[in-house]
Each structure stands twice: as C-alpha cells, then as structure tokens.
Amino acid sequence: MDQKRTFHCVILDVDGTLIDSNDAHASSWVDTLREAGYDVPFESVRRLIGKGSDKLLPEVSGVQADSPEGKRLGKRRGEIFKSEYLPKVQAFPETRTLLAHMRDNGLKLVVASSAQKEELQVLLEIAGAADLVQERKSSGDAKESKPDPDIVEAALQSSGFGAPDAVMLGDTPYDIEAAAKCGVATIAVRCGGWDDEGLAGALAIYDDPADLLAHYDASPLGPSQVGD
C-alpha cells in the first residue's frame, strides 16, 4: 500500500459487516418464497445476500422486484425478517468499540446499505452504531443496488470527501465491486461468510470487527500506514 495515503472517511456496510445478519436475511427470503410457492434453496439465496432485493429477487425467482408480485414479496420478506429473525440478530464482537475508535482517530463514518431506511435504523441500533455514524444512505438513496456503485457514490458524496480519501468496510464481493467502480478501496471482513478468494481485490482482509480493531495500528487505517 502507498505509505503516504491517508483516509478521512470510512463507508460502512452493515449486514454481515457490523452485525451477524446475512443468514437471517437469506432465511427470511427462503421462507417468503416458499410461502408464495417458489422452492428456492437457502444456498442460492445466501450467495446473493449483499445485493439489493431489486437484483436478488429476479435472480432466484424470475420475479421483478418492481412488479406487483415483487412488491408483495418484498413487503412480506420484511414482515418475516422483522418478526422471526430480527430479534435474534446480534452485533459482531467489538463492533461499537471499533467504530468509536475510528471516530476518535478523526474518521468520518458514513453508512452505505442496501437495507430499507426504516430497517437500517434498527440494524444500526443493534450494531451500537446509530449515534456514531454521521451520514447514512439506504436503498431509497440509490437507483441501483450493489454491486452497482450508486449507493457507495451517494455515501461518498454525502461524506464531503473524494474517492482517494475514503475506504469502504464490507463483507461481500458486491461491496468491493461497488466501491471499486467509484474508485474507493475496500477493507473486507470474513464474518459475512465469504472466503479470501471471494474477497479478492480488497486492500486488506480481517476476520471481523474485533480482528480489525486488534490490528488497527498496522491496518490501512492505522498511524503506521500514514505518511507525513
């Protein structure tokens, strides 16, 4: 890495990055689709978590998300997720501590999530991050979801910084691809379920927020990486 590069902003993904929710999201989709008569294996949905429903739903069922059936399924998925899975979702260890450490080191925290606005607020509260993030962008702020760059671009614009000043923290190839299309580097975490091969292209890879915190000083965010 360029020893002279200094980051001023971290663009945060939430699901699978700050909170352990990827399996829950996949299960809520499987339940929704099964209820509607679509037999879709868990694994087929799980590998697409990180994309927005506008991409996930047609890929697994052939139903367009903006069709009447797609809107009905999307609404039902939200209901099932909220009632059956959300109460069990927890933050990854040290998530709040990591974010607070970033803030203390002068980094601006901006969220770029494919979640809906109302759902995102709850997820950030679970992460212990609602009072730490300074800007947030959700599905309604982007025409196209990840891996298209729209949501990352929206987050970047709201941050007030340029692409060279920002780095994304994410857990899927879709985060890395979306950020790269904006010229933004990514620090990846494995806790969302992807291995190093799937996270190829990341600036650095850590197990989870706790691992990044433990190695913070030697990470791309740490003082040992910053030039004069």
- Angstrom distance (rounded) from CA 26 to CA 37: 17
CA dihedral 1, 215, 11, 73 (to 10 degrees): 120
- Angstrom distance (rounded) from CA 172 to CA 189: 8
Higher pLDDT, 169 or 117: 169
The pLDDT of residue 224: 52
Report, as an integer, the average pLDDT of 52-67: 95
Summarised one tens digit per residue, pLDDT across range 99-130 is 999 999 999 999 999 888 888 999 999 999 99
- Angstrom distance (rounded) from CA 178 to CA 146: 6
* 193: pLDDT strictly greater than 50: yes
The pLDDT of residue 227: 38
Share of the chain above pLDDT 90, in %: 88
